[in-house]
Amino acid sequence: MKNRLPILTCISLSTFLLSLWAPVIKQPAYAQTASQNSTSQNSGSIEASPLQVDDEAIDDFVEALMTHRQIPGLSLAVIYDQKLIKTTGYGMLDRELNVHTRPSSIFPIASMSKPLTATAIMLLVQEGRVDLDAPIGTYLADVPEHWSAITVRHLLNHTAGLSEGVYADDLFVAPDEFVEKAAIAPLNFQPGESWMYSNTGYSLASIIVETVSQQSFDTFMSARIFEPLGMTQTHAIRDSYLFSNRAMGYLETEDGSLEPVSEFFRYSLLHKIMPGLQGAGSVTSTVLDLARWEIALQKEQFLTPAVQTEMQQVGILSSGRVSEYGLGWFFREINGHSSFSHGGNLWGYSTSISRFPDDRLAVIVLTNKDGEDGDRLARKIAERYIPGLVLDLEVPAISDDDPALTEKILVFLNGDETAIELTPERQIALTSTLRGQFYQSRWAALMQENPTQSLELLTKEVHPNGIKRRYRATAKDGVYLLTVVVTPDGLIASMGRSSEE
């Protein structure tokens, strides 16, 4: 069992992988591999699309990607223009029992649960039963004084400042005890002052669903979302996690091999931990079911266009600067293509739903390997359908209009934190929260192991928080893309390294 600090971050580690760093490109092409008994099938109740893509080439690419990343099993769904165009299982669902992955295989989706929780809240908003900008005390009893300024919107866009300490103190906290136990900890920052990913906020959102609907969260999700959409294999919380069609989770060991999660975790801990992650990471599902949800969103038959637009608006902080998270969705632009996504990581599992609304495409991946960046996997597959998403790190550099700034960024990257200042809200997030401290230590270790040698400016564009500068960064082990947003007064608002922005 992992110690408790990583437990705080594993739901969802992909926020760190997406926002702060990704593996450096080391240039080897993915090796072509033999088929791993992938099974392709379309659900009879979901209409097929005429999009012409070489299906075998997609299979070859996914199998090679899995080999490269040592992923035992992967379940994939691709949705285009309101239709399911591909659903396939690759590799092994359970190596020990020799069970192959299928589109119907059930995975814990971890923090992919959050956009479903946000969907539940937005159904109540749509019905006029919840006000996003009302204090959470409107819907929750016995809210402590230091929570009085927190709104429902703060919960959904991770700006409430709530502590994650409840999970460190009690891994098995039940939903009916959650408010009382979470209320003990002081806020990490004032509501709206900063942004930091928060499981606590989404667990509280699920309790708001219960108090407003007068139903358990599981009952509400089943009655209002899962059953109407035909998501028959999806549960907000399961009574048992031991059944034949479930994915076995795998962890990478120190020597690079994979081993299944411990029997103690499977048999004694998982069913106790999941209720405490209600709303934040407790859903189990299949790619077929999740495709039905995505199609319903695309058809606007479930949430109205106005409500979906609201969910896709990034959060505005007290400073006037913005985050890159809406209501249940991370927002990114990739080579001019809009993307809304959410990944998830749970002990032994990595997942993602990545949506590209301008291109009418969505990719859903569920894997049974710990610590992968699910969003990255989904985007790499999406590139096979949308070539414009592919990152070209060999494009010519442009003239650097501020080489002194670039030099400061380079020095900062390599460990001198005094070289350039962060915005107050970013400084607060990284120093005042357990998650931020963990991310910062991981970032520092990564940069120390693989120092950056040079930066070449590739693009420069206006961003709501200032100017976004993209660099080709040459490091000890390869080349990566560095994206830095610098405010008009010369502060770093955000910084991320990635191999595919």
List, for residues 458-492, the tens digit of each pLDDT value: 999 999 999 999 999 999 888 999 999 999 999 99
Give the pLDDT confidence score for residue 299 in this predicted structure: 94
Structure-derived torsion over alpha carbons of residues 137, 206, 338, 389, reported in degrees to the nearest 10 = 150
Has residue 261 got a pLDDT over 70? yes
Tell me phi and psi for residue 275, to 5 degrees: -60, -35
High-pLDDT (> 90) share of the chain, %:
72
Q: Which of 17-21, 64-68, 234-238, 431-435 has the lowest mean pLDDT?
A: 17-21
- pLDDT band at 41; cut points 50, 70, 90: very low
Report the mean per-residue pLDDT for the chain. Answer: 88
Give the pLDDT confidence score for residue 51 in this predicted structure: 59
Give the pLDDT confidence score for residue 191 in this predicted structure: 98
Per the DSSP assignment, residues forming a β-bridge with 253 are none
Residue 243 to residues 104, 273, 338: CA-CA distances in angstroms? 13, 18, 38
d(CA 299, CA 41): 22
pLDDT tens for 377-397 read 999 999 999 999 988 888 999
Give the pLDDT confidence score for residue 499 in this predicted structure: 60
- pLDDT band at 264; cut points 50, 70, 90: confident
Has residue 17 got a pLDDT over 60? no
Has residue 23 got a pLDDT over 90? no
Give the pLDDT confidence score for residue 8 in this predicted structure: 47
d(CA 55, CA 65): 15
- Average pLDDT over every residue of 293-299: 96
Has residue 112 got a pLDDT over 60? yes
- Average pLDDT over every residue of 204-231: 97
d(CA 117, CA 204): 10
Give the pLDDT confidence score for residue 166 in this predicted structure: 87
- Which position has the higher pLDDT, 157 or 444? 157
Q: Which of 12-26, 80-94, 331-345, 396-410 has the lowest mean pLDDT?
A: 12-26
Give the pLDDT confidence score for residue 442 in this predicted structure: 87
- What is the end-to-end Cα distance of the chain in Å, rounded? 34
Has residue 6 got a pLDDT over 70? no
- Is the peptide bond between 75 and the residue preceding it cis, with omega within 30 degrees of 0? no
Give the pLDDT confidence score for residue 52 in this predicted structure: 64
pLDDT tens for 138-152 read 999 989 999 999 999
Pick from 496, 492, 482: nearest CA to 420: 492
d(CA 132, CA 121): 9
Has residue 10 got a pLDDT over 70? no
pLDDT tens for 143-194 read 999 999 999 999 999 999 999 988 876 778 888 889 999 999 999 999 999 9
Per DSSP, 311 falls in state H
Has residue 294 got a pLDDT over 90? yes
Q: Which residue has the tokens 């002081």?
A: 186
Give the pLDDT confidence score for residue 399 in this predicted structure: 97
- Average pLDDT over every residue of 26-30: 29
pLDDT tens for 422-443 read 999 999 999 999 899 998 898 8
Give the pLDDT confidence score for residue 446 in this predicted structure: 84
Per DSSP, 499 falls in state S
Distant-in-sequence, close-in-space partners of 308: CB < 8 Å, separation ≥ 6: 297, 300
Q: Which of 169-178, 232-241, 350-359 has the highest mean pLDDT?
A: 350-359
Give the pLDDT confidence score for residue 32 in this predicted structure: 29
